[in-house]
Amino acid sequence: MNIALIAHDIKKKDMIHFTRAYKYILEKHNLYATGTTGMKIMEATGLIVERFQSGPLGGDQEIGAMIAKNKMDVVIFFRDPLTAQPHEPDISALMRLCDVYSVPLATNMGTAEIIIRGLERGDLNWRSIISGQQVK
């Protein structure tokens, strides 16, 4: 499955902890991330991550384009809900696309853990029917 990993600056440490903890699950999938988040994940875990631009420079929109083409199966987006983001319209559009295309979206650690455990059990294999991918 194709998994997007995004984290605002204040949440990047959480994303590193999350990807370290669930490396054994994530390494079985195709990982995508916005710029700095992807770099930090690769450095901390050794996972292979295809990186897009940083969020404010269009990375959120690049991931959104994959969602709109049914090429993204899960989005894990550790957002900072307490700080205004200059690219807030892009963030809202990304989250809206997840709803439109029924892409599971986690915006915090608790939901991300539920989704990653579901992924491990095969609960999200229905996405492979929608996207036309083979389940690994």
The label of the residue with tokens 């892009």 reads 90
Cβ 101 vs Cβ 70: under 8 Å: yes
Catalytic annotation present for 60: yes
Q: List the catalytic residue out of 9, 60, 80, 99.
A: 60
Which residues are identified as catalytic? 60
